[in-house]
Amino acid sequence: MDLILWRHAEAEVAPEGGDDLSRELTKKGERQAARMAAWLDRHLPEGARVLVSPAARTQQTVAPLARKFKLRDELVPETSVEDVLTLLKWDPEAGPQLKGSVLLVGHQPYLGQLVAKLLGMKEDACPVRKGSVWWLRTRVRDGQVQTVLLTVANPELTSSSWDDRS
């Protein structure tokens, strides 16, 4: 199984007492989302399932990808790694029970916690930049389930962004 984690792009700061799920992308965030969507469109398998947090900023992040996606309440900002693993049908010992590719568009801290857990890092979490994509692959080698990092892509370093960095 390939698990592709996409952190939402840069979003506005919530006003005092404002609804966190209503926060929208900044202009910079819109550019980040467009760059990463173009990169993903070139690399993402055609049948990949796309699961998205119900937050406005995640929906705006995935919109330029122009693929069907499902909103999942399990992916709200305050969710736990365990809830995400349950959603993905990922057993901590046996690995993923699903096949194929899943693109998950979500939030910190759980994306970084998921990366750390699946890669067996000593730390509890890993920093995941806004707008970036982490592509993980799970395989079985010598009877052991392994998760490996295939790539990390950053919107500031995609080929279309070298000339117009901001």
- pLDDT for the residue numbered 160: 54
Mean pLDDT score, 102-124 = 95
Residue 130 domain-assigned? yes
Alpha carbon distance 134, 122 (integer Å): 18
Indicate whether 102 pLDDT > 90: yes
Mean pLDDT score of the chain = 92
The answer to whether position 14 is within a domain reads no
Whether 166 has a pLDDT exceeding 50, the answer reads no
What digits encode the pLDDT tens for the residues 3-25?
999 999 999 998 888 899 999 99
Supply the pLDDT for residue 114: 96
Q: Is the pLDDT of residue 104 over 50?
A: yes
**Percent share of the chain, pLDDT over 90:** 79
Judge residue 125's burial from the number of C-beta atoms within 10 Å of its C-beta, 0-12 exposed, 13-18 middle, 19 or more buried: middle
Task: Look at residue 164 in the predicted model and tell me its pLDDT.
Answer: 46
Token pair 């790694």: residue = 81
How far apart (Å, rounded) are the C-alpha atoms in residues 7 and 47?
21
CA–CA gap between residue 18 and residue 159 (Å, rounded): 36
Q: 107: which 2 tokens?
A: 């939030």
Residue 160 in contact with residue 38, Cβ under 8 Å?
Answer: yes
Least confident of 14-18, 62-66, 123-127: 14-18
| Residue in the structure block whose two tokens are 């052991």 | 144
Q: Which domain holds residue 73?
A: 2-9+20-161
Q: Can you give the CATH number for the domain in which 134 is found?
A: 3.40.50.1240
pLDDT value at residue 159? 60
Per-residue burial over 136-163, b if 16 or more Cβ lie within 10 Å, else e, is beeeeeeeeeebeeeeebbbeebeebee
Supply the pLDDT for residue 47: 93
User: Tokens 């995935």 label which residue?
Assistant: 62
On whether residue 15 sits in a domain, the answer given is no
Position 84 in a domain: yes
Residue 97 belongs to some domain of the structure: yes
Count of structural domains, the chain:
1
In a domain, 166, yes or no: no
Q: Is residue 132 part of a domain?
A: yes
Q: In 70-159, which residue ranges form alpha helices assigned H by DSSP? A: 81-87, 110-119
- A 10 A CB-CB count for 99 gives 8
pLDDT level of residue 69 (50, 70, 90 thresholds): very high
Overall average pLDDT of the 150-166 stretch: 71
Pick the closest to residue 155 from 26, 53, 49 (CA basis): 26
